[in-house]
Chains A and B, each alone.
Chain A
Amino acid sequence: MRATAGTGSRLWPAARAWRLPIVLAALLAGAGMGSLFAGSVAMSPGEIARALIGGERDVFEIIVWQLRVPRTLLAMLIGASLGLSGAVLQGLVRNPLAEPGLLGISGAAAFGAVVAFYSGFAALFLLALPLGGMAGAAGAVVLLLVLSGPSASTLTLILAGVAVSSLAGALTALALNLSPDPYAATEIIFWMMGSLADRSFEHVQMAAACMLPGWLLLFSVRRALDALSLGEDAATSLGFDLRSVRFRAVFGTAFAVGAAVSVSGTIGFIGLVVPHLLRPLVGQEPGRLLAASALGGALLLTLTDIVVRLLAPGPEIKIGVLTALFGAPFFLVLLLRLRREAS
């Protein structure tokens, strides 16, 4: 039977599976270092190193520890959450266009966070803001799965996404309009365009605390997503409980995206672009795509946030605007290619 001895290692090259995540992690570490240099105050490597070690209590230490480190960490956490949940959603509905921003999940999370913020709950306890975001995101994913069905065609998925995002956008605007806070209307810009500016370590802790359980849930469906490549019947016959898989994907996405949006507003297209770019590098396998997309999302958002700061001085370009500027054309190209493949 063994026609060609030695194909065994070729059939499943487990050792090479770690190569891409290691490369991405190294690039991410480099981008994180670079991110500490980006800002209105120019600092030398020595000054940054001294500020990181601490003890000087000077202005450099304040800049590094209170502005640049939390901002860098947030970019990484949020980028990882968006990349990872994009990859999971795409595997779940078996469509490369599924993405938290495009499908309105981020928008619904923003609505949830806005309600928590302007209803005063956020002032009562710290976690109200991410909880609101998570509730909004969970509602959106459930609604999407109901609207588009378990194995979504591109058309129904995009239509369901349009419905959910316009509804979420309208509700967010309404909530801000009705708010007694005179500055609320200008806050729309933050929630709808996304920004990482002026975030503190409190935000980092809050986001991380909600994202980590979400990441665990999302990674737990890794093998089920591989099995789903063969369709739902085959996946069930391979021993996967699809109801539990959907449940974990929905709540994992809700935790990760809800927490991300509640500290940064909506940042779109990361979850679309990153899995798409990395898919050929993981042999198109939905399961292996997860770790790569998390790292790749963190890398892309960290780099984008460096660009945002390099574009200053001048009016701050919101990071969500920048991701949409390169993400939307990317999406159009992807759509055209899918249409060509379908015909």
Chain B
Amino acid sequence: MTLSARGLTVTLGGRPILDGIDLSVPAGAVTGLIGPNGAGKTTLLRALASVLSIAAGVITLDERPLADWPRRDRARIIAYLPQGAPCFWPVDVRRIVALGRLPHLAPWRPPAAADEAAIEDALVATDVLHLALRNVLTLSGGERARVMLARALAVRPRVLLADEPVAGLDPEHQLLVMALLREQAAEGVAVVVTLHDLTLAARFCDRLVALDHGRIAAEGPPEAVLTSPILASVFAVRAEHGHRGGQSFVIPWDVVPRLNVVEKGGIGRDRRD
């Protein structure tokens, strides 16, 4: 299934956060949203997840405006993992992951075998099965992040929107989570992920969308987006590029001075991101 945005504009508190975004998220690929703090990555993901209202433009899922989809159908197709993935009650891990099945449950009916299977698969895939009976609030930040990803995977979505799923993870689990997202894409899921780590973005994403001040600054395969001019103008960094085993990698190396700060000040930056 394809999720697309046309002319997407979002204002929060009277300030424009996203300004005329045109974006298409293909199935079977990992699309990475990158950009500096306040570029609008989180807002774009929230808009795609239809958890905030949009000022102008339209988001479509398979050519049908998202707003026209019944909520439950939409919730079965699109899973959204919020940034920081909060949890307000000291619930068992398995119960948290089971919440991903809510869009699939018939009213007043207990979960069926398919639900149990989805929950268990998600626990196994994110390497948290051994934590299934633990209280989620006693986990480390990295463990909790994986549990929340398991919750999103338990939906068995066709579109997965993950906001910084590797933030706070140790290197092992960063690589495992990125590989997991690739696996999802290989199964035909349209994966959208916001990332701050350009090295992971370059290696694991099929496409990158670089946001800057609420607009798309560059879009395409990683090698076309993570070029020196774009890294300098969008991120104000210079990077080292290299190759290993047929894969190219990028490591942000040092800061380059921003030359056009005043000109860019026009559109607001939000603190969400």
Contact with B along A230-269 (1 / 0, CB 8 A): 1111101111110000000000000000000000000000
A contact residues around B121 at 8 Å (CB): 1
Main secondary structure of the interface of B (DSSP, over half): helix
Interface residues of B in 66-119 (CB under 8 A from A): 71-72, 74-76, 78-82, 85-92, 94-96, 98-100, 102-103, 105, 110-111, 113, 115-117, 119
Q: Which of B96, B120, B124, B132 has the most CB of A within 10 A?
A: B120
Contact with B along A195-229 (1 / 0, CB 8 A): 00000000000000000000000000001001111
- Among residues of A, the one whose C-beta sits closest to the C-beta of B100 is A238
B contact residues, range = 35 or more
Q: Taking the nearest CB of chain A, how far is it from the CB of B165, in angstroms?
A: 14
Does B213 reach chain A (CB closer than 8 Å)? no
- A285→B88 CA distance, assembly (Å): 10
A238-B88 contact in complex given A1-B121, A229-B96, C-beta closer than 8 Å = no
The answer to whether A283 and B46 touch across the interface, beta carbons within 8 angstroms, is: no
The answer to whether B51 and A233 touch across the interface, beta carbons within 8 angstroms, is: yes
- A208→B202 CA distance, assembly (Å): 64
The answer to whether B49 and A237 touch across the interface, beta carbons within 8 angstroms, is: yes
- Among residues of A, the one whose C-beta sits closest to the C-beta of B135 is A284
B contact residues around A2 at 8 Å (CB): 120, 124
The answer to whether B80 and A12 touch across the interface, beta carbons within 8 angstroms, is: no
The segment from A3-11, A50-58, A68-76, A312-320 that touches chain B is A3-11
The answer to whether A11 and B86 touch across the interface, beta carbons within 8 angstroms, is: no
Q: Taking the nearest CB of chain B, how far is it from the CB of A288, in angstroms?
A: 9
Does B41 reach chain A (CB closer than 8 Å)? no
The answer to whether A8 and B71 touch across the interface, beta carbons within 8 angstroms, is: no
Q: Which of A3, A17, A227, A283 contacts B102 (CB 8 A)?
A: A227
- A285→B90 CA distance, assembly (Å): 9
B contact residues around A94 at 8 Å (CB): 88-89
Q: Which of A231, A232, A233, A283 contacts B92 (CB 8 A)?
A: A283
Contact with A along B252-273 (1 / 0, CB 8 A): 0000000000000000000000
A contact residues around B37 at 8 Å (CB): none
A contact residues around B174 at 8 Å (CB): none
The answer to whether B95 and A285 touch across the interface, beta carbons within 8 angstroms, is: yes
The answer to whether A3 and B99 touch across the interface, beta carbons within 8 angstroms, is: no
- A66→B99 CA distance, assembly (Å): 48
The answer to whether A3 and B94 touch across the interface, beta carbons within 8 angstroms, is: no
Q: Which of B90, B94, B129 contacts A4 (CB 8 A)?
A: B129
The answer to whether B132 and A7 touch across the interface, beta carbons within 8 angstroms, is: yes
A contact residues around B123 at 8 Å (CB): 11
Does B60 reach chain A (CB closer than 8 Å)? no
Q: Taking the nearest CB of chain B, how far is it from the CB of A150, in angstroms?
A: 12
Does A155 reach chain B (CB closer than 8 Å)? no
The answer to whether A239 and B89 touch across the interface, beta carbons within 8 angstroms, is: no
A14-B110 contact in complex given A8-B116, A237-B79, A238-B103, C-beta closer than 8 Å = yes
- A11→B119 CA distance, assembly (Å): 8
Does B199 reach chain A (CB closer than 8 Å)? no
- Among residues of B, the one whose C-beta sits closest to the C-beta of A224 is B102
Does B50 reach chain A (CB closer than 8 Å)? yes
Interface residues of A in 1-57 (CB under 8 A from B): 1-4, 7-8, 10-12, 14, 17
- A227→B98 CA distance, assembly (Å): 10
B contact residues around A230 at 8 Å (CB): 82, 85-88, 96, 99, 148, 151
- A237→B91 CA distance, assembly (Å): 20
Does A286 reach chain B (CB closer than 8 Å)? yes
Q: Taking the nearest CB of chain B, how far is it from the CB of A203, in angstroms?
A: 32
B contact residues around A10 at 8 Å (CB): 94, 132
The answer to whether B89 and A8 touch across the interface, beta carbons within 8 angstroms, is: no
Q: Taking the nearest CB of chain A, how far is it from the CB of B153, in angstroms?
A: 12
Q: Taking the nearest CB of chain B, how far is it from the CB of A291, in angstroms?
A: 12
The answer to whether A11 and B116 touch across the interface, beta carbons within 8 angstroms, is: yes
- A171→B87 CA distance, assembly (Å): 39
The answer to whether B116 and A12 touch across the interface, beta carbons within 8 angstroms, is: yes
The answer to whether B99 and A12 touch across the interface, beta carbons within 8 angstroms, is: no
The answer to whether A238 and B99 touch across the interface, beta carbons within 8 angstroms, is: yes
The answer to whether A284 and B91 touch across the interface, beta carbons within 8 angstroms, is: yes
A contact residues around B50 at 8 Å (CB): 236-237
- A177→B273 CA distance, assembly (Å): 56
- Chain B residues with CB under 8 Å of chain A are 46, 49-51, 71-72, 74-76, 78-82, 85-92, 94-96, 98-100, 102-103, 105, 110-111, 113, 115-117, 119-121, 123-125, 129, 132, 135, 148, 151, 155
29 contacts between A and B (CB under 8 A): A3-B124, A7-B129, A7-B132, A8-B120, A10-B94, A10-B132, A11-B98, A12-B116, A94-B89, A223-B102, A226-B102, A227-B102, A229-B87, A229-B88, A230-B88, A230-B99, A231-B88, A234-B82, A237-B79, A237-B80, A238-B100, A238-B103, A239-B74, A239-B76, A239-B102, A240-B102, A284-B90, A285-B89, A285-B91
Given contact pairs A237-B51, A238-B99, A284-B92, enumerate 12 new A-B contacts (beta carbons under 8 Å): A2-B120, A8-B113, A8-B116, A10-B132, A11-B132, A223-B102, A227-B102, A228-B88, A231-B86, A239-B74, A239-B103, A240-B71
7 closest A-B pairs by CB: A239-B75, A237-B80, A14-B110, A94-B88, A8-B116, A236-B51, A233-B51
